[in-house]
Chains A and B, each alone.
Chain A
Amino acid sequence: MRLLVSTRFNVGLFLFFSAVCALGSVVPQEPDSAQAAARFLEAWPRLGGLLSASGCFDLYHSWWFAALLGLLALDVALCKLRRPPPGSDPWEGLLGGPRAGGDAAALDLARPELRKKSLYAVCDRAGGGEGIGRLLEGFAAEGWRLSPVAEAPGAVEAGGRASEAPSGALAWVADRGSAQRWGSLVSHAAIVVVFAAGLAGRLLGFSEMIEVSEGRTAPMRHRPWTIALDRFTVEHYEKDGRPKLFASELRIMDGPLEVGRKRVVVNDPLDVGGVRFYQSSWGVAEDFAAVKISAAGEERVLRPGVEARLPGTRASVTAERFMPDFDVVDGRPANKSSEAIHPALRVRLKRPGKPAETLWVLNDMPDAALAEGPDGSVEAAPPPPFRVLGVQPRLFSGIEVGYDPGYRFMLAGFGAWVAGLVLLFGVHRRRVWVVCSESDGALRCELAGWSLRGDHAFHAEFDRLAGRARSALASAGAAVEGGGRGGA
């Protein structure tokens, strides 16, 4: 436990976590870079084997990376549980650690420490303690929260109670920017909330990618709903051909009941009871709406699965299947991508006196064809008695469907995180101790300052406060002595 909350361990854990993340950014990650991972394994078989065995090709989803994230979250929580925000110890910044003997004894301990501070000033006044009230009013007027060091029985001065030390001194502590001390706790607690919200989303939520062609429906796995894509629009910039817009007109059906409808574009999802439908991707489906062919100088339009007579012959043809990026893998037809790079059409050709043939006709190679056998294998065949003039493929829309019950907690965590950091870095916490004592009819007030940002950051303000304190005492009577390091 002591190890887990030590700063050395924490910083070591941070740096180890950073190194692991960096490793994941340079080693190809599956499934997105599966081919790159395979090439890596081929190029460096020993190193690749080691990385593969340790799950580094899918590092961010490996069990040990999840455990590392869990350790980080646990560590953050433990640190804040073990080190609560600084309490109301009036001597924080001056005396360290637990002390015995009560506030009066602490004041006696503190007085020599005050004099060691680089922000230190002394104001003296002859004729008693009437000036203390004015000195304290000066602090209050500048927005300082002034409090007596303790509720000790003893002197009541200038409307404020102060502790009375054995030495007869009275002490106050003036604080400014105290809210800063909550910044660390709030920001660290927020990190734990963010981790928990992420975990809730992972365990209780779901995510699925659904590809649906225009005019078709597709079922969801995690809800008894179907997604209907009524219309899909894609537009490109004329200048460079980059996508300008892609939009899906979606209907979400729960049986016969429509539960949601929207034209979904990137950055503007459809929300149905917390289940969100995002426009994620698009491509050319293995599906087509129509094919235009020509034979004997005449053109015909083929519809999917509808047999048509070839002009000028007694043969008939049926368009059955479409692949946008045709290839032959292990002797069988295969589609390589969802882009129309090598479009190909499978047709069933019936000629009188011949058995029916299944042919693959390639759009970019009109004088060639491949015959598909009953076992699915293909071999070269003579060209068919027609030419494919064009295929009107169907586009599919990639809809990312997600449900994340931790979403609102995540947003709350983010908000608290930022608020905590603003408190932590934006608020300047500083403190001034004021210790006054009387001897031989003369009043002596000692001021010492402390700032979380260091003495340099508080120097000018402390000097001004010390100057005001001297003026306050002087205005109540004749100041006999002034000075000190802070006021020099």
Chain B
Amino acid sequence: MELTLFAPAAVLYGVAAALAFVYLFSRDERWSLWALRLLAAGVAFHLASFGLRMADFWAIPENRWFLPVNSFYGALSFLALSVAAVALAVERGHRLGILGAFVLPWAALAAGGALWRAASLGSTEVAGLVPALRSYWMNIHPAVLMVAYAAFSNAAGVGVALLIQDGQIKSRRPTGLCYRLPAIAVLDDLCHRINAAGFLLLTVGIIMGGIWAYGAWGRFWGWDPKETWSLITAVVYAAYLHLRYVKGWRGRRAVYMSLAGFACVCFTFIGVNFLSGLHGYLSGR
């Protein structure tokens, strides 16, 4: 039943991303409007499926009151929901319309990944929490980090839009896309602000993880690959922020640094699963 609601949500994210992409090359505002409507519908389906997942998850007494993000499917689904929700929030705040084409594919990718995971396992991975995960931090630490990842994915989308706009402006024959995309300064400011919010959340999430680890095992830091790559991600974004604040990096150069940070985010979320036992969704431990 959960998948019956989640699959349409994933499809709606994909279609919304496609419509947003069409809007890039069209002057018809209806494409953007429909992309937003479908995104909102996708979020509604997703929330409903997440509600059902919670009900299944809480049917195991030991899991009650905890978020079902302890599996790879659960984490991907929550990430897709976070990306879509952050995209809706950014769109509501800035009404840029055009950014859907660069941001919504991340939501569609994450939701598609969750569907693939569920299909390959034949289940949505509802299992009892192991003792270490039964802590109130379970509801805060992963959720804060997922929202941080969602923010970084949105900033990466904005950064790609900036690179395209920069290329358009510098080219001798700018296309209609140049007039559809916001000004470089607008994109640059938005990219920086989302990254700064993401960096704050990432730092808070890492600190929460440290405090949780101290309560569970008596140490703040253990150099587990997930911890290590979260730190690497934070350090790369710290370098981005320093270059921007102190050296005045703007535009293309700043975006390259931001995208390097996003590559670290992707590795922290996906790649590290193959290295980490403690945080490994895919290691089965």
Within 8 A of A (CB), among B18-34: none
B204, B218, B239: the one within 8 Å of A276 (CB): B218
Q: A24-B228, A267-B131 are in contact. Are A7 and B243 (CB under 8 A)?
A: yes
Cβ contact within 8 Å between A240 and B218: no
Cβ contact within 8 Å between B131 and A266: yes
> Complex Cα distance A279/B216, Å?
8
> Complex Cα distance A207/B264, Å?
32
B192, B242, B272: the one within 8 Å of A11 (CB): B242
Cβ contact within 8 Å between B218 and A402: yes
The minimal Cβ–Cβ distance linking A476 to chain B, given in whole angstroms, is 36
> Complex Cα distance A455/B60, Å?
54
Say which size band chain A's interface belongs to. 35 or more
Residue B247 interfacial (CB < 8 Å): yes
Please indicate the chain A residues that have their CB under 8 angstroms from the CB of B236 in the complex: 14-15, 18
A25, A207, A404: the one within 8 Å of B228 (CB): A25
Cβ contact within 8 Å between B128 and A239: yes
A21, A244, A279: the one within 8 Å of B62 (CB): A244
B102-143 vs A, Cβ < 8 Å mask (1 yes, 0 no): 000000000000000000000000011011101100000000
B: number of interface residues (CB 8 Å): 50
Cβ contact within 8 Å between A414 and B207: yes
Residue B229 interfacial (CB < 8 Å): yes
Chain B CB within 10 Å, residue with most, of A278, A400, A410, A425 = A425
Residue B74 interfacial (CB < 8 Å): no
> Complex Cα distance A21/B264, Å?
12
Within 8 A of B (CB), among A54-84: 60
Question: Chain A: which residue is nearest B186 at the CB level?
Answer: A456
Chain A CB within 10 Å, residue with most, of B196, B197, B214, B231 = B214
| Segment touching A, from B45-53, B160-168, B219-227 | B219-227
Interface of B is mostly: helix
Cβ contact within 8 Å between A404 and B218: yes
Cβ contact within 8 Å between A278 and B217: yes
A198, A267, A411: the one within 8 Å of B216 (CB): A267
The minimal Cβ–Cβ distance linking B193 to chain A, given in whole angstroms, is 7
> Complex Cα distance A236/B236, Å?
41
Cβ contact within 8 Å between B235 and A18: yes
Residue A280 interfacial (CB < 8 Å): yes
> Complex Cα distance A414/B214, Å?
13
B199, B218, B235, B242: the one within 8 Å of A269 (CB): B218
Cβ contact within 8 Å between B132 and A267: yes
Within 8 A of B (CB), among A226-262: 237, 239-240, 242-246
Cβ contact within 8 Å between A418 and B217: no
Residue A417 interfacial (CB < 8 Å): yes
Cβ contact within 8 Å between B200 and A425: yes
Please indicate the chain B residues that have their CB under 8 angstroms from the CB of A266 in the complex: 131-132, 134, 216
Please indicate the chain B residues that have their CB under 8 angstroms from the CB of A246 in the complex: 131
Please indicate the chain A residues that have their CB under 8 angstroms from the CB of B238 in the complex: 14
> Complex Cα distance A21/B223, Å?
9
Please indicate the chain B residues that have their CB under 8 angstroms from the CB of A14 in the complex: 235-236, 238-239, 242
Cβ contact within 8 Å between B239 and A15: yes
Cβ contact within 8 Å between B131 and A244: yes
> Complex Cα distance A8/B211, Å?
32
Cβ contact within 8 Å between A267 and B228: no
Cβ contact within 8 Å between A207 and B219: yes
Within 8 A of B (CB), among A255-288: 265-269, 276, 278-280
Question: Chain A: which residue is nearest B195 at the CB level?
Answer: A425
Please indicate the chain A residues that have their CB under 8 angstroms from the CB of B199 in the complex: 421, 425
Cβ contact within 8 Å between B132 and A60: no
Cβ contact within 8 Å between A407 and B214: yes
Cβ contact within 8 Å between A425 and B197: yes
> Complex Cα distance A401/B217, Å?
9
> Complex Cα distance A240/B121, Å?
15
Cβ contact within 8 Å between B243 and A400: no
> Complex Cα distance A139/B95, Å?
29
Please indicate the chain B residues that have their CB under 8 angstroms from the CB of A276 in the complex: 218
Please indicate the chain A residues that have their CB under 8 angstroms from the CB of B62 in the complex: 244-245
Q: A267-B135, A456-B186 are in contact. Are A244 and B218 (CB under 8 A)?
A: no
Question: Chain A: which residue is nearest B136 at the CB level?
Answer: A267
Please indicate the chain A residues that have their CB under 8 angstroms from the CB of B243 in the complex: 7, 11
B127, B132, B228: the one within 8 Å of A239 (CB): B127
The minimal Cβ–Cβ distance linking A34 to chain B, given in whole angstroms, is 14
Within 8 A of A (CB), among B185-202: 185-186, 188-189, 192-193, 196-197, 199-200
> Complex Cα distance A24/B189, Å?
35
Residue A292 interfacial (CB < 8 Å): no
Cβ contact within 8 Å between B193 and A453: yes
Q: A7-B246, A456-B186 are in contact. Are A411 and B211 (CB under 8 A)?
A: yes
Q: Which residues of B contact A (CB under 8 A)?
A: 60, 62, 127-128, 130-132, 134-135, 185-186, 188-189, 192-193, 196-197, 199-200, 203-204, 207, 210-212, 214-221, 223, 225, 228-229, 231-232, 235-236, 238-239, 242-243, 246-247, 264, 272, 275
Cβ contacts A to B, 11 pairs, < 8 Å: A7-B247, A14-B239, A14-B242, A267-B131, A279-B131, A401-B218, A404-B214, A421-B199, A425-B200, A454-B185, A456-B189
